[in-house]
Amino acid sequence: MESRSLAAAGVSTSSASVCPRSATSTSSSTSSFRTILSVTRKNSLQLLRVPPASTRSLSSISSHFLQSNTPFRSASENSTFGRCSERTYFRVLTVRAAMFDQLTNSLEEAWTKLRKEDVLTRENIKEPMRDIRRALLEADVSLPVVRSFVKNVTEKAIGSGVIKGVRPDQQLVKVVNDELVKLMGGEAAEIDYAKTKPTVILMAGLQGVGKTTACGKLALYLKKKGKKCMMVATDIYRPAAIDQLVTLGKQVDVPVFEAGNQIKPAEIAKLGLAEARKKSVDVVIVDTAGRLQVDKGMMDELKQMKKVLNPTEVLLVVDAMTGQEAAALVSAFNLEIGITGAILTKLDGDSRGGAALSVKEVSGKPIKFVGQGETMEALELFYPDRLAGRILGMGDVLSFVEKAEEVMLQEDAEELQKKIMEAKFDFNDFLKQTRALARMGPMNRVMGMLPGMGKVSAEQIREAEKSLKIVESMINSMTPKERANPELLAQSPSRRRRVALGSGRSQEQVSQMVSQLFQMRARMKNLMSVMQGGSIPGLDNLEQSLKGARKAPPGTAKRKKIRTELQSKYAAAQVAGASPKDVKAQLMLYSGCHPLVQDGKIMSRTPSSGVSKWRQRKSIEPKA
């Protein structure tokens, strides 16, 4: 496998030299290489070491990468590049699979097998449970976890009996959801704070898993919660590690304590803690050096640091891409140094997410945070129930709302609401919204949080992103006046022509965008009314026009026009979320069709009386 993979990439195994990072490991270079391969093989990854000669053939490798010893992502290929030295680097080819997509789809297949059943039995549940088992294993959930999960779900599903009005497949989804939440630890686990400050958080983990990045992210997360933070750089082995932490500290505006690389990590930690006490810091986050694999040297060093720091939290940073190994790793660290929880990083990558499901069950320690990107904002508290919802394709609306709140200022939100209610939403607001959406993270992740949107294909998301870019280019070609008054564009073909020319789009595209904005105004206003608990949207101002409809002679152009208007408003109200029955009832009420309320009485017209003649047939008290 090893030589075949290398040969497939046109690389000779013998010419592959050793990255200095592996050389820092106590094991030999060959065994380091094997370790990585065995981990990656389980994740369907191939890890290749490419000698300098073949680097030149890969146009996507930037010279910056080779000089700066920093990892980067290739722009032109679906591949991730590991950290490298100036002579060699790792190239990791990954099988792209959006996190949990496969699992969600496979689980859905399992439910469909129960559609025709009336009740869950030991017999008819066998096949769906086999599918669930396979789906979990394929998602890299560890085998003992899968076994006990399947057993628990089977027992609970059969034991749940018949629930009136609930189909067996829905019943199974509910059991699986509850068990998934339980498996992942139930409640979200926040940071535990020390009774007397500072709270010390010791970060541990293997090389390159994202420890230093997680330190910066956690500092920002805690800073947003109003904590005064400080970071301590104790990775004296990797030359750029201290600088990396200092740079991240500047980015998130949190001070970093460093004392060079000539004294022992435990000593630096001690000095850092003293400094934090002096400065009355609330939380100290201590970054540590990683190793390629669990070894005695690293464990001893961590034990010494733990002794010196007496930390409230020892968080193990785990790369989600290590798949099944993640849970075992957490157990090993827990046995050796005693950890309080884990941070699972790179969940945005090619991981199949299995680690998120196994860590708590195997190690007994909760995942406290998940990292979903390289930016400092990409750290989230781990909510087992929300993730279960996402896995089962039910979305995660709470996370969506939280993200939206994060990227949107309160005043902006209030102003937007006012504009929406007055149907004055303009192109400036549109631009603001799309930019806020972009700040919420990659569109596929944002979409994944919305119920029913999990099924939106990557292709559709790419299309949507492309369309947004096109719209943005057209808005950028508008004058400030046009942005604030879309009516100007609606009224003037010459303005639309100018915008089309300026943005390199067709006039048709510009017209389409303008008309979409007006449609959006109407829809948003309706939606907002529903959310604010107002009456059925789109109908508030109808009474006036509908009075006219009642008076207009049937068959006349005016009546036809009003009917068309009504139909479109009916559709808009439905889009806005009102139940069709309610919408219909109110429309009928206002439009003069029966039943009709006048003076608190329901009036009706006889079918035989013709459309033009109205008469009061009988008075009926409105139903309670």
Ligand X SMILES: Nc1nc2c(ncn2[C@@H]2O[C@H](COP(=O)(O)OP(=O)(O)OP(=O)(O)O)[C@@H](O)[C@H]2O)c(=O)[nH]1
Alpha carbon 416 to chain centroid distance?
24
Task: Give min distance, CB of 90 to ligand X, in A.
Answer: 12
Evaluate whether 526 touches 572 at the Cβ level (below 8 Å).
Answer: yes
Evaluate whether 320 touches 347 at the Cβ level (below 8 Å).
Answer: yes
User: Cα torsion for 541, 543, 546, 551, to the nearest 10°?
Assistant: -140
CA distance to 55, 85, 196, per residue, from 18 (Å): 15, 9, 47
Task: Give min distance, CB of 101 to ligand X, in A.
Answer: 17
Please, which residue, 311 or 393, has the CB nearer to ligand X? 311
Please, which residue, 291 or 523, has the CB nearer to ligand X? 291
Residue 339, beta-bridge partner list: none
Please, which residue, 72 or 427, has the CB nearer to ligand X? 72
Query: How long, in residues, is the chain?
Result: 624
CA distance to 395, 431, 433, 434, per residue, from 438 (Å): 19, 11, 9, 6
Evaluate whether 303 touches 33 at the Cβ level (below 8 Å).
Answer: no
What does the binding site for ligand X look like in residue numbers (CB under 6 A)?
Answer: 71, 205, 207-213, 235, 238, 241, 290, 345-346, 348-349, 371-374, 378
Please, which residue, 281 or 318, has the CB nearer to ligand X? 318
Task: Give min distance, CB of 345 to ligand X, in A.
Answer: 4
Please, which residue, 245 or 524, has the CB nearer to ligand X? 245
**Gap between the Cα atoms of 364 and 330, Å rounded:** 9
Burial class (CB in 10 A: 0-12, 13-18, 19+), 555: exposed
Please calculate the CA angle 82-102-161 and round it to the nearest 5 degrees: 140
DSSP-based three-state secondary structure for 546 = helix
Task: Give min distance, CB of 235 to ligand X, in A.
Answer: 5
Please, which residue, 352 or 523, has the CB nearer to ligand X? 352
Task: Give min distance, CB of 335 to ligand X, in A.
Answer: 21
What letter does residue 162 receive in the DSSP assignment? -
Please, which residue, 272 or 371, has the CB nearer to ligand X? 371
Task: Give min distance, CB of 325 to ligand X, in A.
Answer: 15
Task: Give min distance, CB of 241 to ligand X, in A.
Answer: 5
Indicate the pairing of strand 79-84 with strand 72-73: antiparallel
Please, which residue, 215 or 357, has the CB nearer to ligand X? 215
CB atoms under 10 Å from CB of 527, counted, come to 18
Task: Give min distance, CB of 22 to ligand X, in A.
Answer: 12
